[in-house]
Amino acid sequence: MSRTVGPLMFASMVSVLAMVGFQTAAASDLSPEAINTASLDVIPAIFTATPKEIDTITTASIVDTTTDSDAVALPFDTNAQSASVARLQVLLDRAGASPGIIDGLDGGNLRSAIAAFEAMHGLPVDGKIGSQVIGAIQDPEQVIGSYVITAEDISVVVGAIPKDYALMAQMTYLGYSTVTEGLAERFHMGEDFLKALNPNAQFLEGETIFVADLGENKEGRAVRLEVDKAEGQVRAYAADDTLLVAYPATIGSETNPSPSGTHTVKTVVINPNYTYNPKVNFQQGDNSTVLTLPPGPNGPVGTVWIDLSEPTFGIHGTPEPSRIDKTGSHGCVRLTNWDAEELAKLLVRDVSVKFM
């Protein structure tokens, strides 16, 4: 249990929904109790998208939807947030196999995280959830707990962030637009998911809300990184070649591809400024001059810049965690801010970075 998240029994808000059985909680029941007791074996072995017109940018990644005999264990709507998926996402996050945002939605990022978890535990790597994965990842501890909003949570809110870099450069800190945006990022959650967990919350200082109980960040020392373009994932390995952590990633785009080959980490900067130079990188809007943007989670590179030996390229955070591995980048490797922050603490200078 993380040091800032309390036991569920001490939460002071949100009415308790009646449980209708361990195996049969409705997918739309996102009460903390439903998530904490949700069964993992109701999740289909592989991801098969439920037909529906949805915005795939802001929901789950689209992966191969070819069905097989393991595809659907029970009726399961992949377009609806699921208590079981939310529980699995928190457990994967704790294990260092990041699913990206915790939002209760199945998809490509979740399946890549399952594959990474399998590799970490010496299981057959196929990205399917079954008895072996469930047995290895099960944890009796709560995955949703209570949290009291602090003055610090309020202080990092700066209001609406302009899109124009020239206007952003006039600000002193590119903080969060809303309290819920900041809290969602702190606890690795989608903002909509946070609100669904707390339908009556006003998100004020001193208020108790429900959040993901993440545990502690992974520790250790990475000696090499793999940037897997096909999988949309960054993986860090220890000296004994065990997989330390894995993160979903946006890795370049067709028009702005990421580097190839092997490079090294030059330096790591926490809360970096961002220097915009249209002659070196790209042109944003009508901005044709060099601009220095202040630090903050809503800056173009988020809260971390990991500089690589390939000039102008790096691994960095993002102001839009829900879009990781769903939209392209300008050639760099983009992670959620929280994943980039964890990775930064595992790195030292000259760690190799292999683009695959």
Q: What is the CATH number of the domain that holds 104?
A: 1.10.101.10
Q: Taking the CB of residue 329, how many other CB atoms lie within 10 A of it?
A: 19
305 forms bridges with which residues in the sheet?
A: 269, 316
Residues 275 and 135 in one domain: no
Chain mean pLDDT for the chain:
87
Residues 51 and 117 in one domain: yes
Q: Taking the CB of residue 103, how many other CB atoms lie within 10 A of it?
A: 29
Residues 242 and 229 in one domain: yes
What pLDDT score does 254 carry? 64
Residues 175 and 54 in one domain: no
Residues 211 and 197 in one domain: no
pLDDT band, very low/low/confident/very high, at 50 (cuts 50, 70, 90): confident
Question: Which one has a higher pLDDT value, 319 or 16?
Answer: 319
pLDDT band, very low/low/confident/very high, at 331 (cuts 50, 70, 90): low
Please say whether the beta carbons of 216 and 245 come within 8 A. Answer: no
Average pLDDT on 286-301 reads 95
Q: Is the dihedral of CA 272, 307, 335, 2 positive or negative?
A: negative
Q: What is the span of the domain harbouring residue 188?
A: 148-203
Residues 43 and 152 in one domain: no
Q: Is residue 151 predicted with pLDDT exceeding 70? A: yes
Question: Which one has a higher pLDDT value, 256 or 316?
Answer: 316
What pLDDT score does 75 carry? 54
Copy the structure tokens of residue 85: 């998926």
Q: Is residue 85 predicted with pLDDT exceeding 80? A: yes
Question: Which one has a higher pLDDT value, 61 or 2?
Answer: 2
Tell me which of 164, 192, 216 is where a domain ends: 216
Average pLDDT on 1-5 reads 60
Question: Which one has a higher pLDDT value, 139 or 253?
Answer: 139
pLDDT band, very low/low/confident/very high, at 2 (cuts 50, 70, 90): low
* pTM (two decimals): 0.87
Percent of the chain with pLDDT over 70: 83
pLDDT band, very low/low/confident/very high, at 66 (cuts 50, 70, 90): very low
Please say whether the beta carbons of 28 and 292 come within 8 A. Answer: no
**For the chain, what is the domain count?**
3
pLDDT, tens digit (0-9, with 9 covering 90-100), for 232-287: 999 999 999 999 999 999 997 666 778 899 999 999 999 999 999 988 878 888 99
Q: Is residue 293 predicted with pLDDT exceeding 90? A: yes
Q: Is residue 1 predicted with pLDDT exceeding 50? A: no
Contacts of 170 (CB under 8 A, 6+ apart): none
What pLDDT score does 267 carry? 97
Residues 188 and 228 in one domain: no
Residues 140 and 176 in one domain: no
What pLDDT score does 255 carry? 65
pLDDT band, very low/low/confident/very high, at 93 (cuts 50, 70, 90): very high
Tell me which of 216, 243, 266 is where a domain ends: 216
What pLDDT score does 257 carry? 76
Residues 211 and 70 in one domain: yes
CATH number reported for the structural domain that contains residue 309 in this entry: 2.40.440.10
Residues 103 and 166 in one domain: no
219-230 in b/e form (b: 16+ CB < 10 A) is eeebbbbbbbee
DSSP for 278-296? TTTS---TT--S-EEEPPS
Tell me which of 186, 216, 246 is where a domain ends: 216
Distance CA 355, CA 332 (A): 11
Residues 48 and 154 in one domain: no
Contacts of 224 (CB under 8 A, 6+ apart): 236, 237, 351, 352, 353, 354
What pLDDT score does 11 carry? 43
Residues 120 and 63 in one domain: yes
